[in-house]
Amino acid sequence: MIDALDPGGPVNSVPPNDVHAAWLPPEAFRALGSRRSLVCGEGTLVDTVRDEIARACVRYGGSTDRPHPRPDRRPADDRSAAGTAYDLVLALVPAGLLPIAAAAVDVVYRRRYGAGTLGEEGFLLARHTEVTVVLAEAPAGLLYGLFHLVRLGESAFGLTRPMELHRPAMRLRMLNHWDNIDVHPVMGQVERGYAGGSIFWQDGARREDLTRVGAYGRLLAACGVNAVSVNNVNVHATEARLLTDRLGDVAAIADVLRPYGIRVHLSVSFAAPVMLGGLSSADPLDEAVREWWADATKRVYESVPDFGGYVVKADSEGQPGPFGYGRSHADGANVLADALSPYGGVVHWRAFVYNHRQDWRDRSTDRARAAHDHFVPLDGQFRDNVILQVKHGPMDFQTREPVSPVIAGMPGTRLAVELQVTQEYTGQQRHICYLAPWWSEVLGFGPWGDDGPTVAAVAAGASVGDAAERGAAGDGGGLVAVSNVGDDPFWTGHPLAQANLYAFGRLAWDPRLAPTAVLDEWIELTFAASAPNGLGLVRRVLRAIMDDSWRTYERYTAPLGVGFMVHPGDHYGPDVDGYEYSRWGTYHFADRDGVGVDRTRASGTAFTGQFPPPWRDVYESVESCPDELLLFFHHVPYGHVLHSGSTVIQHIYDTHFAGVEQVVAMRQQWERLAGVIDPGVHARVRERLDEQVRCATEWRDQINTYFFRKSGVPDAHGRRIH
Amino acid sequence: MIDALDPGGPVNSVPPNDVHAAWLPPEAFRALGSRRSLVCGEGTLVDTVRDEIARACVRYGGSTDRPHPRPDRRPADDRSAAGTAYDLVLALVPAGLLPIAAAAVDVVYRRRYGAGTLGEEGFLLARHTEVTVVLAEAPAGLLYGLFHLVRLGESAFGLTRPMELHRPAMRLRMLNHWDNIDVHPVMGQVERGYAGGSIFWQDGARREDLTRVGAYGRLLAACGVNAVSVNNVNVHATEARLLTDRLGDVAAIADVLRPYGIRVHLSVSFAAPVMLGGLSSADPLDEAVREWWADATKRVYESVPDFGGYVVKADSEGQPGPFGYGRSHADGANVLADALSPYGGVVHWRAFVYNHRQDWRDRSTDRARAAHDHFVPLDGQFRDNVILQVKHGPMDFQTREPVSPVIAGMPGTRLAVELQVTQEYTGQQRHICYLAPWWSEVLGFGPWGDDGPTVAAVAAGASVGDAAERGAAGDGGGLVAVSNVGDDPFWTGHPLAQANLYAFGRLAWDPRLAPTAVLDEWIELTFAASAPNGLGLVRRVLRAIMDDSWRTYERYTAPLGVGFMVHPGDHYGPDVDGYEYSRWGTYHFADRDGVGVDRTRASGTAFTGQFPPPWRDVYESVESCPDELLLFFHHVPYGHVLHSGSTVIQHIYDTHFAGVEQVVAMRQQWERLAGVIDPGVHARVRERLDEQVRCATEWRDQINTYFFRKSGVPDAHGRRIH
């Protein structure tokens, strides 16, 4: 009994024709769409699974069934009675587990995974007597299982397949959109957005046509993201009202994302009781304020029963917060948490609090210390449904930073680690910079050394003393990232920047995935329409271009972890002294003798003391500090010899010349794909590579000239420095 | 026969109550208003004179008459029959010269001034048998004579007064407004405006109430300005249409300014035939383009018969121009000149043409050379009604620059010298920087040395070989300046910045006036309401604060003529390397050994070769180059010893410490005026002085730290450098 194909399907799941399909082109569904499938289970997400398969079958000639509603009355020729009639079965375990699959699966499953459950989102994949089986305990698991099949393609139906159990490492895998409803006069519509306008908002209102939001949700589900906040953490006047009189807009977006298992969250202003409620104060200990939040939150859940919660940037870069009332950030976060608690919502409370009016003459203040100084004393004071959202590094998403010591410092607090998919400081989607290797380093880093849990494990819920592997889908805060998506036809401005979005979702699901493997997945899905031979070339070229692109970007920009040196305001392109005399706390202190920031306990800001062993000592010593972070922790002479054997000044010259050469090579590689891939994609990337070559050259020349003028040391190889 | 006071008067001549009266408070008219006056003559401007006196008389009890329309029938008791009945007579010479005054005046006049005429704007002031007499040959002369009397106050009626003849040195004394009709997203409404919005335009349209424009015209007439362009030289889409369908707006403004002898000019886009006329080209040699300009100009004069002409920024910073059609700037200017010629209009064609996309690595290109390179070869090719408008320095209104060599380079071209009253690079009307001493230096400079004509004389029409004094009201291009006025209640943001506007007009009328004398004039008019004793204190304090304020500003900003070092974009506050790696051609080339731009013929860009003797040699030699321009012309080591005896590096430290001390002293001086002057003025200036102290300190610390880090040379006096 084949489902009549519902031409409506989930209305918003396929992007308009003029929008790039990203990693879900129709061709990626070939293996699924040419098989006979049975989908067992009920519910919105199971319907989504059915619709996806049905759509693929229309294209590729397969079929999809649902179990007969009354098994005891099914006719003799009903195919759903016999598992062998199917190539693929996806089933909710409690609802309609087929005996033939269950028996086999159950044995293997128990042997390998013990009595553990699949949970809300996990699934099990097995191949049994020429049937591929996906089992889940909850609808979301079936949806993620479906997209796992899409990734596997034909190999999901290979003769032999080991059984696989997939559960997400993090329960919360979230994207923050820094989208404004109104266009901000300086920041534009999407703050730090490099892909056009917002997919949610336009001309001061919610977009009437949310088709792209649906298509976006589908892409996110396919890489594992399950939560989205829909407005900028800098909450301006218009956006503040999403919490109250614009709630209908939030509900409409939630309706479109729900079929993909994605919850909607909202950035709110801490001053909302004053701005929106007309109260005279937003003091979190004021009873009227508590009541206002409770009441406002109740109304939110009346509109959006599965609402995720609030994201709050408080006392940060001019946003209001509890400091204004002499209260702590725990007081501030808890009042929102109490309001959300009855409904299962959470508060993402950002730890990005620092003095953004620093005097550059004040050498004792160190912005790197700020989050630890502010938040570690509050450990244990936050409600269980508060998630402290910590940027992965102590500064602000630079190309290279140490891991934030806050991550090791708050065992009594749920922590989310925040990454930045949007390439604010990493080329703004005009440069190719595949960020998964960077995130992978961060997530695999052991804040307590090699024996303790990793950063990923902390985000998953582990703490000091736990083993490195603990914390799968535990009660941690998970991973959060700033999205890089806009209304650009390629979603992300640079078509290859789609890989970063994809990789974020995949690493949030499983931080142990190798970045190269994730890249391969993304390539094979995205370029599935290429001829089989062509795909091999695409893979080789993209690996050559992308695998090392983050380190290439690092080579031609600020050296040795010193950070910034970008053009103020827009953060694009070099300006070595651009932030040197500013109020932002981001300095390099280069003089004629040396460069770098002394953050040691011995003679500097003592930031090293915020780390537990071994890092507090590794970073403290100029001998043991890793080269790539040397200038983050130490001020050294230009003649200082690195572990690499090079001097600092010669390292600067060498890496900058090499970085540009590598970008030029990337551009040459790309030309090999002319005529092999979609011409629109090829042209857009070519145009951006021209800009990357130009900008990298500018970085090289400004950095080299700057340090040559300061140091007076000539290049050992006599290359041209202007 | 006292004129019935016309309560209408010139409707727009007195500013609204909430707007500061600037240098025309009612008290400035006390001497005039308490006298018995006779005004002889007819016409709009004579009416203005009458209305001014009548208004003063209402306040101070004097009287004003006009001659009996039929002298042969006047009654015996008519006072206008006998000069002795009046304290003051203002008369147009051809129309109604009173015999008693004429006889005396004529003798003295011929003896002192020969057969020269007073011209369109001159006037003669005499004191005869206790009557003060002002004579003019044309109505504008009478108007300027009136305001001269206002300046003189009681001393115009003293027992003895030598006869004075006043004729403007320049025929054209013009202000350019860089006002946009629409608010520009980056530049705001008034480009480089520091005094609020435009007085002409608001919310995308002409202001309905032009009262302030009238009041502005009155202020300008009182200092001698006779022409105004009403829109930005960067002509955007909306403003381009002032030439055609928005012509009514121009006419309305002209109507309000006409009673003050001020002609309206318009900035036009060179691409107007394409933008507005729908032609496919704006090629100046295209016949259809010539016809379009002729036709458009004809319509302009139908609306505004005394229209002044066009201001054009062509092929400059992105504006369209003749280069786009392979034509010269002479071709471009002449097509507009031909269109204006039948009506007596002029083209102000700006010489501010340079490569604003320079590669900072290119050391052979020198922006300072650009205007000379572009325009000197065209000398003699411009029509007589083309005025080439040349910035006074070769760069862009820095605190210190040499005089532009273009001024000495085009004997066959009418040149206007352009100054900047708006304080773009001199503190943006948040800092006190009285600019008249700077302008006075420029205007008194001899491009050919001490024996030839001055810059002022060139602007007045003199050329090489003329004597220094020649050129009064000759056929030169005159002086032009960018206005500093907006809709701020104090007109200029900083109340003391009014002095710059006043001084510009006065120096354009008479460049030989001492800046201190002009300052005194301005003080006595502006603070006329102070008690006599109070005025003495005001004068002492303001002299102490303002006389040297330009040099103080120079001390704490970019040193020794090197220029720029300002924050890019907004040009406010220090950013030493802000333009160092930019495309704007504004570099200082500081390295660990030295600083400055080598513009010599011997080893640099050969800019010195654009000057005639003696300057080509004075500037070429590091020995003879004046200290204040040393780094403009030479790259020298930090240890280079100046004529002052100090090294360059110690000079930098010393001037920056001294500059801040002087600003602190200015703020102390200002406190002496608390309670003595208008509290609103006092509070506004106090607030701005706080900002000036803050910003000067920032300049001092950034400049000193920057050069200490580069040079490694400690301050000889051991002061704190961060």
* pLDDT tens figures, B435-452: 999 999 999 999 999 989
Q: Which helix (H) or strand (E) holds A266?
A: strand A263-267
- Per residue in B475-493, pLDDT (tens digit) is 899 999 999 999 999 999 9
Any A CB within 8 A of B359 CB? no
pLDDT score at A95: 39
The Cα A56–Cα A50 span in angstroms is: 10
Q: Are B104 and B128 in contact (CB under 8 A)?
A: yes
Q: Kindly indicate the confidence band of residue A107, based on its pLDDT and cuts at 50, 70 and 90.
A: low
Any B CB within 8 A of A694 CB? no
| Set of chain B residues whose Cβ sits within 8 Å of the Cβ of A709 | 590-592, 710
pLDDT score at A17: 75
The Cα B269–Cα B314 span in angstroms is: 8
A317 flagged as catalytic: yes
pLDDT higher than 90, residue A481:
yes
Among A141, A130, A15, smallest CA distance to A90 is for A141
Distance from CA of B712 to the nearest CA of A (A): 7
pLDDT score at A511: 97
The Cα B27–Cα B24 span in angstroms is: 8
Q: Are B649 and B659 in contact (CB under 8 A)?
A: no
Q: Which of A575, A576, A709 minimises the CB distance to B592? A: A709
Which has the higher per-residue pLDDT, A165 or B595?
B595
CB contact under 8 A, A575 and B577: yes
The Cα B240–Cα B232 span in angstroms is: 10
The Cα B669–Cα B652 span in angstroms is: 26
Distances (CA, A) of B634 to B355, B367, B413, B648: 22, 15, 31, 12
Q: What mean pLDDT comes out for the span A525-550? A: 92
Please give the CATH superfamily to which domain A553-597+635-711 belongs: Alpha-glucuronidase, C-terminal domain (3.90.1330.10)
Any B CB within 8 A of A231 CB? no
The Cα A510–Cα A475 span in angstroms is: 16
Any A CB within 8 A of B720 CB? no
A359, closest residue in chain B (CA to CA): B698
Q: Which of A576, A698, A712 minimises the CB distance to B577? A: A576
- Per residue in B599-652, pLDDT (tens digit) is 999 999 999 999 999 999 999 999 999 999 999 999 999 999 999 999 999 999
Please give the CATH superfamily to which domain A173-295+384-513 belongs: Glycosidases (3.20.20.80)
Among A40, A39, A38, A141, smallest CA distance to A95 is for A40
Secondary structure (DSSP) of B593-642: SEE-----TTTS--GGGGSPTTHHHHHH-TTTS-GGGHHHH--EETTPBP
Among A315, A334, A316, smallest CA distance to A324 is for A315
pLDDT score at B506: 98
Select the residue from A579, A581, A700 to test the B interface by mutation, using most B Cβ atoms within 10 A.
A581
Give me the percent of chain A exceeding a pLDDT of 70: 91
Residue linked to tokens 């900058």: A656
Q: Which of A574, A705, A710 minimises the CB distance to B710? A: A710
pLDDT score at A67: 82
Characterize the bridge pairing of strands A309-312 and A346-350.
Answer: parallel
Distance between start and end Cα atoms, chain B: 75
A510 C-beta neighbours (distance < 10 Å), count: 16
pLDDT higher than 60, residue B530:
yes
pLDDT score at B119: 85
Any B CB within 8 A of A639 CB? no
The Cα A545–Cα B686 span in angstroms is: 60
- Per residue in A185-214, pLDDT (tens digit) is 888 899 999 999 999 999 999 999 999 999
- Per residue in B295-341, pLDDT (tens digit) is 999 999 999 999 999 999 999 999 999 999 999 999 999 999 999 99
pLDDT score at A118: 80
CA torsion through residues A507, A510, A515, A520, sign: negative
Distances (CA, A) of B136 to A21, B140, B161, B168, B494: 81, 8, 18, 13, 36
B566-585 residues touching A, CB cutoff 8 A: 574-578, 581
The Cα B293–Cα B284 span in angstroms is: 10
CB contact under 8 A, B709 and A577: no
pLDDT score at B118: 80
SS3 B128: strand
- Per residue in A110-147, pLDDT (tens digit) is 555 554 578 899 999 988 778 999 989 899 999 999 99
pLDDT higher than 80, residue B549:
yes
- Per residue in B356-404, pLDDT (tens digit) is 999 999 999 999 999 999 999 999 999 999 999 999 999 999 999 999 9
The Cα A187–Cα A189 span in angstroms is: 7
Distance from CA of A575 to the nearest CA of B (A): 8
Give me the percent of chain A exceeding a pLDDT of 90: 83
Any B CB within 8 A of A306 CB? no
Mean per-residue pLDDT over chain B, rounded: 92
Q: Are B383 and B293 in contact (CB under 8 A)?
A: no
CB contact under 8 A, B581 and A574: yes
B577, closest residue in chain A (CA to CA): A577
Q: Kindly indicate the confidence band of residue B187, based on its pLDDT and cuts at 50, 70 and 90.
A: confident
ipTM of the complex: 0.87
The Cα B434–Cα B445 span in angstroms is: 19
Any B CB within 8 A of A254 CB? no
Q: Which helix (H) or strand (E) holds B222?
A: helix B211-223
Distance from CA of A360 to the nearest CA of B (A): 9
Q: Kindly indicate the confidence band of residue B76, based on its pLDDT and cuts at 50, 70 and 90.
A: low
Interface size between A and B, measured as CB pairs under 8 A: 55
pLDDT higher than 70, residue B192:
yes
pLDDT higher than 70, residue A154:
yes
Residue linked to tokens 């002029």: B346
Number of H helices, E strands in chain A: 23, 20
Select the residue from B189, B358, B577, B713 to test the A interface by mutation, using most A Cβ atoms within 10 A.
B577
The Cα A672–Cα A693 span in angstroms is: 17
The catalytic position among B6, B317, B359, B617 is B317
Characterize the bridge pairing of strands B88-92 and B131-136.
Answer: parallel
pLDDT score at B451: 86
Structure tokens belonging to residue A436: 């998964």
Q: Which of A702, A708, A712 minimises the CB distance to B581? A: A702
Which has the higher per-residue pLDDT, A113 or A593?
A593
Q: What mean pLDDT comes out for the span B570-581? A: 97
CB contact under 8 A, A592 and B712: yes
CATH number of B173-513: 3.20.20.80
A671 flagged as catalytic: no
| Set of chain B residues whose Cβ sits within 8 Å of the Cβ of A593 | 712
The catalytic position among A396, A418, A628, A654 is A396
Helix then strand then coil, in percent of chain A rounded to 5, is 40, 15, 45
CATH number of B26-166: 3.30.379.10
B424 flagged as catalytic: yes
Indicate the Cα dihedral angle A246, A252, A253, A257, nearest 10°. 150
**Residue A13 CA neighbour count, 13 Å, CB half:** 27
The Cα A523–Cα A658 span in angstroms is: 27
The catalytic position among A424, A524, A628, A654 is A424
Secondary structure (DSSP) of A474-531: -SS-EEEEE----SSTTSSSSGGGHHHHHHHHHHHH-TTS-HHHHHHHHHHHHTTTS-
E-strand ranges in B282-431 read: 309-312, 346-350, 386-391, 414-420
pLDDT higher than 50, residue B92:
yes
- Per residue in A338-374, pLDDT (tens digit) is 999 999 999 999 999 999 999 999 999 999 999 999 9
The catalytic position among B424, B521, B554, B620 is B424
SS3 A664: helix
Q: What mean pLDDT comes out for the span A171-196? A: 94
- Total residue length of chain A: 722
pLDDT higher than 90, residue B14:
no
The Cα B134–Cα B446 span in angstroms is: 34
Q: Which of B574, B592, B705 minimises the CB distance to A710? A: B592
Q: Kindly indicate the confidence band of residue B114, based on its pLDDT and cuts at 50, 70 and 90.
A: low
Residues of chain A with CATH 3.30.379.10: 26-166
Q: Which residues of A346-379 are buried (b: 16+ CB within 10 A; e: fewer)?
A: bbbbbbbbbeeebebeeeeebbbbbbbebbbebb
The Cα A540–Cα A551 span in angstroms is: 18
Burial label for A533, CB within 10 Å (0-12, 13-18, 19+), is exposed
B77 C-beta neighbours (distance < 10 Å), count: 7
pLDDT higher than 90, residue B77:
no
pLDDT score at B470: 45
pLDDT higher than 50, residue A99:
no
pLDDT higher than 80, residue B553:
yes
| Set of chain A residues whose Cβ sits within 8 Å of the Cβ of B705 | 581
CB contact under 8 A, A575 and B581: yes
pLDDT higher than 60, residue A2:
no
The Cα A688–Cα A665 span in angstroms is: 14
